[in-house]
Amino acid sequence: MRFAGLFRVAFLATLSVSIQSCCNCEERVIQELPYEAATFEVEGETASMYGVIDHTTPAVVQLLIDEHPEVTNIVMIDVPGSDDDPANLAAARLVRERGFTTVVPSNGVIASGGVDFFIAGAERIVEPCAKLGVHSWDEDGPDGGIIYGNQVARDDPSHRMFLDYYREMGVPEDFYWFTLDAAPPERIHWMSDEEILGYGLVSGDAE
């Protein structure tokens, strides 16, 4: 799983207010809070996105496509992650199929599964001071302990879903391994401009 429980997806919903004006935020500890499922607010050609991506999101994205053919841009205001990886990637593939541009505006905050969703954009835009956060996943170990993603052998099948997805979206495999090392599951690493550009998260290489 991309998240080790729902506590990983909700903290940004409240934290975003305090960091939106900050261009150089430190790594933050994730706190356990309730969350609201992802929704879209449509105005003209823009759909503003808020909330956590979950099992309902593929249907919500499909509804956006069906009922608002005028929309070309998804602006991700506050998308702190997902609690359902297969649903997240299914919704993201709808975004790529439709050819949406994804945007993280200067006051936008996205993390973990939210970043995975963002890279589905046929064109991807990150405005100055936008916050993109990444971290590792974890899973229960055979002895009852917790195993982090970067402790799992690189040829293990558990990595395949994400590696296949990044390849499909034109993002280098190295980005996936970077996310596993960037921060443990209980923390968030806010990517620098150099990291965002270096891993090809902005437009130019999306296919």
pLDDT (0 to 100) of residue 60: 98
- β-strands 131-134, 109-111: how paired? parallel
Residue 141: the pLDDT is 76
Which of left, alpha, beta for 144 (phi over 0: left; psi -120 to 50: alpha)? left
Do 95 and 121 contact (CB within 8 A), yes or no?
yes
- Give SS3 for 94: helix
Nearest partner of 35 among 81, 96, 1, judged by Cα: 81
Q: Is the pTM of this model over 0.75?
A: yes
Rounded CA separation 104/54 (Å): 20
pLDDT computed for residue 7 by the predictor? 31
Q: Give the other-Cβ count within 10 Å of 124's Cβ.
A: 24
**Which two three-digit tokens encode residue 170?**
């034109």
User: Can you list the domains of the chain with their CATH numbers?
Assistant: 7-18+34-198 (3.90.226)
Nearest to 100 by CA among 85, 117, 78, 80: 117
Query: Exposed/middle/buried for 105, CB within 10 Å: 0-12, 13-18, 19+?
Result: middle
Give the list of residues 6+ apart from residue 189 with CB closer than 8 angstroms, or none.
27, 133, 134, 135, 182, 183
DSSP string, 22-88: -SSPPPEE-------B-EEEEETTEEEEESBB-TTHHHHHHHHHHH-TT--EEEEEEE--BS-HHHH
Q: What is the pLDDT along the chain (207 residues), one digit of tens a residue?
A: 333 333 334 334 333 333 333 455 544 444 445 679 999 999 999 999 999 999 999 999 999 999 999 999 999 999 999 999 999 999 999 999 999 999 999 999 999 999 999 999 999 999 999 999 999 988 777 787 888 888 888 999 999 999 999 999 999 999 999 999 999 988 999 999 999 999 999 986 444
